[in-house]
Structure formats: structure tokens, C-alpha cells
Amino acid sequence: MKLQLEELKGVILPPMEAIESGAPWQFVMDFDGTLVSPKGKSFNLSVRAEVTSRLKAVVPVVVPVGSFQNAHLIVQDVMVSLAFGERFSKPKKLEGIREWYLVPGVGQVAVDFLGNRTQLVRYTIPVTTQ
């Protein structure tokens, strides 16, 4: 599968002050591309992701790289539409809640979505010289 981002509307990740205000934010991403079947047939593919995010709480989280006491738990309502070429006139839809754990100074440490968890297993903090 090959996808290219055609348009982004909204903000994926606002500044931390905006996140901590508790106000929700939205973004929409449109992708176009090609999907090749196992038999080698190509289909045009359009994908739209609509996401509304909000800070749920500041919580502790444990991941393979360690424990963090100040993870910002971002809850995202995600709706993805997939349209496959001309054969399928009605887009397929996927909806779910994505929980994203964001630690200040580190970044994303865990994501839970559709029953799967992605976790941070390694990171380094750059050393600054003066």
C-alpha cells in the first residue's frame, strides 16, 4: 500500500499549554494512494481520518522503558473512512477510541487503540553543552 497525504486540516498536537487547558482540538487528514492485491491487481484508495482529542487526566504510566508519574492521557475519538476505487461506492468506516500517553520532555510513551498497545522501549535525552 502506498499513501500520500493530500490535505491536513486542524492541529495534530497543539502546544502543551493548550492541551492542559482541557479544551478539545480536532484534525482531519486526507490521503490518496494505491493498494495492490495479493493477485497483483491495483486499486485506487482514499482514506480520511477525523480525530477529536482532549486531555482526560494526568496519570502515572508504566512502560518497558520505565515509570512516569506525569503522563498526559489524551483521549481521541477516531473515525477512519476507506474508499477503494470505483468498485466500492460506499466507504468502509472504522471508529474507535485511541488513548495516547504523552510525557513532557519525553514524548509519546504508549498508545492504546483497537485492543493493541504500542509502548516506548528506548529513548535518550540529548545532552546540551554550554
Domain spans of the chain, in order of start: 2-119
Place of cell 493548550: 18
- This prediction has a pTM of 0.77
Q: Give Cα separations from 38 to 1, 50, 59, 92, 124 (angstroms).
A: 11, 29, 44, 20, 40
The backbone torsions φ and ψ at residue 67, rounded to the nearest 5 degrees and listed phi first, read -110, 140
From the list 29, 31, 33, 32, the residue with the least C-alpha distance to 50 is 29
Grouping H, G, I as helix, E, B as strand and the rest as coil, residue 105 is: coil
pLDDT tens for the 130 residues of the chain, in order: 777 788 889 988 898 888 888 899 999 999 988 878 788 888 888 889 999 999 999 999 999 999 999 999 999 999 999 887 666 567 889 899 999 999 988 889 999 998 999 999 988 877 878 7
